[in-house]
A and B are shown apart, each in its own frame.
Chain A
Amino acid sequence: MSNRQGAYGGTNGGDTSFRKTWDREEYAARAAEHERKQKEEGKARYEAAASGKKYRRRASTPPDARETEARSHRLDVASMVGKTMLVPQGAGVGKRGKGAGFYCEACDLTFKDNLQYVEHLNNRQHLVATGQTGEVTRATAEEVHQRLLWLKRKKDEESKGEVLDLDSRLKLNKEREDQEREEKRRKRNEKRRKTKDGLGHQEIKLENDGIIDSSTHWVS
């Protein structure tokens, strides 16, 4: 067979290694799995029908899904107030894409106000996009106790710095003010040293200091 002549005098049909080779075992396993799933579903369907319910197939949970957690800090909604940013042309249409407003990286959506934004962060679409299950584990009494202990420690540490004595508070305030004044003086001196001859910046006096007063007559 191997020495059969081809039509153009070649030995055989040429190189056939590009053809897909089938892993028979793997596909047999896949088929078995598929069959098992079908059987399972059929059983569930039958049982649901027997108990007078409608069967609904559930989408499987992705294996790397993690549980939803409570926000660890407040949503930062004021960080961009008063700032200017460049927005691509045509970004103002709908919510799709990055535009002016609160932008959700995972879902590529922009929201115009924080209420819409936080609603989006809570909804199913966002949770799925970020791989969360939307479920939270119940905590036991022991976990609650540990949490409260931690909170108590934190509270105690924070209140340690607080001084309730009026005299010491006044003293602390005075020290802080002195420090600030010293800092200001240092900066002023530095500035003066940088200018020529150490004269400092010459103040240029404008007439009337730019204030329009009654003595100014307008020529119309």
Chain B
Amino acid sequence: MAHHKADASKLLDDRGYGGRLIRGQNPALLFETGVRNRITQSYYWKEQCFGLNEATLCDRAAQIKFIGGTTGVNGKPTPFLCLAFKLIQLVPDKSVIFEYLNFEDDGEESDNEGDKAERNGEGEGDEDGDNGIMNGGRVQDPEAAGKRGAFKYLRALAAFYIRLAWEPVEIYNTLEPLLSDYRKLKRKTKEGYAMTYMDQFVDDLLTKERVCATSLWRMPPRSQLEDLDLLDVRESPLQGEVDAMDEDNGEEVEVVESESD
């Protein structure tokens, strides 16, 4: 039975830290000092994040209503950021993170498959169902049905954690399927709110340097990993449409040419 501390005293102890490491470092260093201090001084952290473990963290994550970094003139951290810091403290096992990311209700499994079958029957829809399995092991999740990751903010939280804590190849492999999750997310900005989408958030995580008041560590770009044969070339779910558009354009061009002739 492994234990961890109820509060972050061990994590913030920069000389005597003996817990799990992330890329050979104290995980707390993934957050900037100022943000770290503001998180540990915030009331939400002290009240709601005390004594959480991997399971009870789900309760809090199910309650959060928006993502975001720090807000207001004082840079008050959002609950999302506090919970991300808690995850950084816990450093959960990979299986737990996958559970957060791809939680599926067992009871509705049959329902889900029924949906798939229906969509397959429609003809065009089989792109979603079959392609996922054919796509070299990388399973495209049935996002249109919204069955996976029932708690979208928990899913966003897990994605954020994965970007911070895991290795580049794993990051690309686990986060890219989320690019077909088109659910809305509420994002708290410095003042006020903005709307974003899950796929947009994940894209930000993969391409931007700063997300949610945290500078993300520099990850090698996808093309580099492809050159090293660590990753397969990504096939966009929109590839079919893009090809079709290209064909259409080609025809048009030809028509134009013939007219000019």
- Inter-chain contact A137/B46, CB cutoff 8 Å: no
Within 8 A of B (CB), among A31-85: 67-71, 74-75
- Inter-chain contact A138/B54, CB cutoff 8 Å: yes
Considering the complex, give the chain B residue whose CB is closest to the CB of A132: B6
Let me know if A141 is at the binding interface, CB within 8 A: yes
Shortest beta-carbon distance from B147 to chain A in Å: 11
Let me know if A25 is at the binding interface, CB within 8 A: no
**Cα–Cα distance between A121 and B94 once the two chains are bound (Å):** 32
List, in ascending order, chain B residues with CB within 8 A of A70's CB. Answer: 50-53, 56, 59
The one of A122, A137, A149 that contacts B3, using a Cβ cutoff of 8 Å? A137
In the complex, the number of residue pairs spanning A and B with C-beta atoms less than 8 Å apart equals 105
- Inter-chain contact B48/A71, CB cutoff 8 Å: yes
If A70-B51, A119-B46, A137-B1 touch, whether A151 touches B58 (CB-CB below 8 Å) is yes
List, in ascending order, chain A residues with CB within 8 A of B90's CB. Answer: 138
- Inter-chain contact B43/A143, CB cutoff 8 Å: no
List, in ascending order, chain A residues with CB within 8 A of B100's CB. Answer: 144
Let me know if A147 is at the binding interface, CB within 8 A: yes
Let me know if A87 is at the binding interface, CB within 8 A: no
- Inter-chain contact A118/B55, CB cutoff 8 Å: no
Let me know if A172 is at the binding interface, CB within 8 A: no
- Inter-chain contact A141/B46, CB cutoff 8 Å: no
Let me know if A155 is at the binding interface, CB within 8 A: yes
Within 8 A of A (CB), among B41-98: 43, 46-48, 50-56, 58-59, 62, 90, 92-93, 95-96, 98
The one of A68, A137, A149 that contacts B2, using a Cβ cutoff of 8 Å? A137
If A71-B50, A74-B47, A75-B47 touch, whether A139 touches B96 (CB-CB below 8 Å) is yes
Shortest beta-carbon distance from B260 to chain A in Å: 56
Number of interface residues of B (CB under 8 A): 35
Let me know if B4 is at the binding interface, CB within 8 A: yes
Shortest beta-carbon distance from A53 to chain B in Å: 13
- Inter-chain contact A144/B58, CB cutoff 8 Å: yes
**Cα–Cα distance between A198 and B92 once the two chains are bound (Å):** 73
- Inter-chain contact A143/B54, CB cutoff 8 Å: yes
Shortest beta-carbon distance from A112 to chain B in Å: 15
Let me know if A213 is at the binding interface, CB within 8 A: no
If A115-B43, A144-B99, A151-B151 touch, whether A135 touches B5 (CB-CB below 8 Å) is yes
**Cα–Cα distance between A74 and B5 once the two chains are bound (Å):** 21
List, in ascending order, chain B residues with CB within 8 A of A151's CB. Answer: 58-59, 62, 151
Let me know if A192 is at the binding interface, CB within 8 A: no
**Cα–Cα distance between A149 and B151 once the two chains are bound (Å):** 11
Within 8 A of B (CB), among A112-166: 114-115, 118-119, 121-122, 127, 134-141, 143-149, 151-152, 155
Within 8 A of A (CB), among B100-139: 100, 103, 105-106
- Inter-chain contact B99/A135, CB cutoff 8 Å: no
The one of B55, B59, B105 that contacts A143, using a Cβ cutoff of 8 Å? B55
Shortest beta-carbon distance from B96 to chain A in Å: 5
- Inter-chain contact A118/B99, CB cutoff 8 Å: no
If A70-B53, A115-B43 touch, whether A141 touches B93 (CB-CB below 8 Å) is yes
The one of B2, B62, B151 that contacts A138, using a Cβ cutoff of 8 Å? B2
Let me know if B150 is at the binding interface, CB within 8 A: yes
Considering the complex, give the chain A residue whose CB is closest to the CB of B103: A148
Residue of B46, B47, B95 contacting most chain A CB atoms (<10 Å):
B47
List, in ascending order, chain A residues with CB within 8 A of B96's CB. Answer: 139-141, 144
Considering the complex, give the chain B residue whose CB is closest to the CB of A136: B53
- Inter-chain contact A136/B48, CB cutoff 8 Å: no
Let me know if B7 is at the binding interface, CB within 8 A: yes
Shortest beta-carbon distance from B80 to chain A in Å: 17
- Inter-chain contact B53/A137, CB cutoff 8 Å: yes
**Cα–Cα distance between A121 and B93 once the two chains are bound (Å):** 29
| Sampled A-B contacts (5; CB under 8 Å) | A67-B3, A118-B47, A122-B6, A147-B55, A151-B151
A68-B6, A122-B6, A151-B62 known; 20 new pairs, CB 8 Å cut-off, are A69-B56, A71-B47, A115-B46, A121-B50, A122-B7, A136-B6, A138-B4, A139-B53, A139-B54, A140-B54, A141-B96, A141-B99, A144-B100, A147-B56, A148-B154, A149-B105, A151-B59, A152-B105, A152-B151, A155-B150
Q: Which residues of A are in contact with B by a Cβ distance under 8 Å?
A: 67-71, 74-75, 114-115, 118-119, 121-122, 127, 134-141, 143-149, 151-152, 155
